[in-house]
Amino acid sequence: MTARIPHFIDGRQHPGTSGRQGDVYDPATGDVTGRVDYATAAEVHAAVKTAQAALPGWAGTPPVQRARVMFRYKALIETHLDDLAALLTAEHGKVFSDAKGEMLRGLEVVEFACGIPHLLKGEFSENVGTNIDSFSMRQPVGVVACITPFNFPAMVPLWMFPMAIACGNTVIVKPSEKDPSVTNRLAELALEAGLPKGVLNVVHGDKVAVDALLTDPGVGAISFVGSTAVGEYIYQTGCAHGKRVQALCGAKNHMLVMPDADIDKAADALMGAGYGAAGERCMAISVAVAVGDQVGDRLIEALEPRVRALKVGPGMDPDSEMGPLITAQHRDKVKGYVDLGVDEGADLVVDGRDLHLQGYENGFFLGGCLFDRVQPHMRIYKEEIFGPVLSVVRAPDFKSAVDLVNGHEYGNGTSIFTQNGDAARSFAHNCNIGMVGVNVPIPVPMAFHTFGGWKRSAFGDHGMYGMDAVRFYTKQKTVTARWPTGIAAGAEFTMPVMR
């Protein structure tokens, strides 16, 4: 019997009334394990009204009290960490150790949100004019909608709603309909931590729910992580309806391997960065740029046996290094890209398309795939595959490699492996990319910095978490004050000038 996955509104489970539901699978077996309710536009608008009703009380709660809720929330997530990771693995498919890592990276943002009293401090200037002072304050935006992807069903929501809530907003999360359960559980734990009812709500669904959030006048801001096509639509639609929008989108992340790099260390880094979570990461390294043919030959020689030995299996098997893809449709899409790469003339060094696991024949598995001599005009180079497919491109020199990175339409993350400090510094300063790693394969910043890409990897002026989150989830107000003893008699008709 499959479980029903309802909405979570006003502090309780809220079964949907639309009659529409979506299947939730165990990607390792292919079995349907749940049915998630899809919200109608009317249900979304009702959830927005619930969040609006909770807003004045929560916005008026002192930041130090909001921080105490976040401290309790952090402790509850730590207590339930293994259960949350197992729930995540059951619906997404990533291996359990990776799921725990996802939970911990999300928890870092909760820890950062605990410092909200300090983060919300404004500025004060005494005597900007005679007997006149100016000061600034940061106040909540209002109701925030968080639209999150399937690949990080816990971490990305935790990137968003703890900071939005700590800043005094109320929130509606619309998680991916493919793996929704862990978001519901996170909302339940927030309530247990002392968050008032209605401050954090979860609605499930498809484009109907998204469009309702984008157009509802009660929503003040939208946070989104997902594909570029959807992100651009959300940015344009949300802005057209007067909302503040941040949309973090697709990627095609490159790793430069320089002639002086330790090839074994670079290959190990590429294995984790390219095949971890079955490549379903916006920060996955999907292109290795070998600087020089000799480096390309050595890199392929090191990668090929590692990719062939990759341990693919169900996420809860402690021996598994890579789990299944999220759905059969997505697995077939990734397979189609491998077919396309062969047709385009790339050299398929390792072919994982025919992987079959005994006992898991109906799971959504795909083995690791490795291409060599991929060319920039090929679609497998241009487009985000979002699967366990690593492409090696050969560049004749450092400048050509940097130009290759900068010429791609995406600018999310990149990395360089080298022992040369000049090359590393030049790359970090001259690449047109939002996040850069030096001998670090996946340069995801810590919670007290900011995550965000450039070019078509992001729309909007603010990144995720760090101080950008405080700026995005608040509006700055500046007060200029003069008290009666400093006010001269008579009306003043000239432009005010501070003297």
Query: Bridge-partner residues for 464, per DSSP?
Result: 451
87 exposure class (CB count in 10 Å sphere: 0-12, 13-18, 19+): buried
Q: Quick check: is 167 catalytic? A: no
Closest by CA position to 39, among listed 9, 74, 78: 9
216-250 core/surface letters (b: 16 or more CB in 10 A; e: else):
bebbbbbbbbbbbebbebbbebbbeeebbbbbbbb
* Tokens encoding 457: 């990897």
33-53 core/surface letters (b: 16 or more CB in 10 A; e: else):
bbebbbbbbebbbbbbebbbe
Residue type, 325: L
484 exposure class (CB count in 10 Å sphere: 0-12, 13-18, 19+): exposed
Query: Bridge-partner residues for 390, per DSSP?
Result: 370
101-140 core/surface letters (b: 16 or more CB in 10 A; e: else):
bbbebbbbbbebbbebeebbeeeeeeeeeeebebeeebeb
SS3 of residue 220 by DSSP: strand
* Tokens encoding 180: 């929704």
What DSSP string runs through 363-399? S-----EEEES--TTSHHHHS---SSEEEEEEESSHH
**161 near 69, Cβ under 8 Å?**
no
For the chain, the C-alpha Rg in angstroms (whole number) is: 25
The Cα–Cα gap between 260 and 213 comes to 51
* Tokens encoding 428: 């970090």
Annotated active-site residue in 114, 146, 167, 282: 282
The residue count of the chain comes to 499
Query: Residues near 364 by Cβ (< 8 Å), separated by ≥ 6?
Result: 25, 27, 28, 30, 93, 324, 325, 326, 327, 328, 330, 331
For residue 18, how many C-alpha atoms fall within 13 Å in the half-sphere facing its CB? 21
- The secondary structure element, H or E, covering residue 215 is helix 207-215
Closest by CA position to 348, among listed 325, 368, 377, 328: 368
Closest by CA position to 293, among listed 416, 417, 397, 369: 397
The residues annotated as belonging to the active site are 282
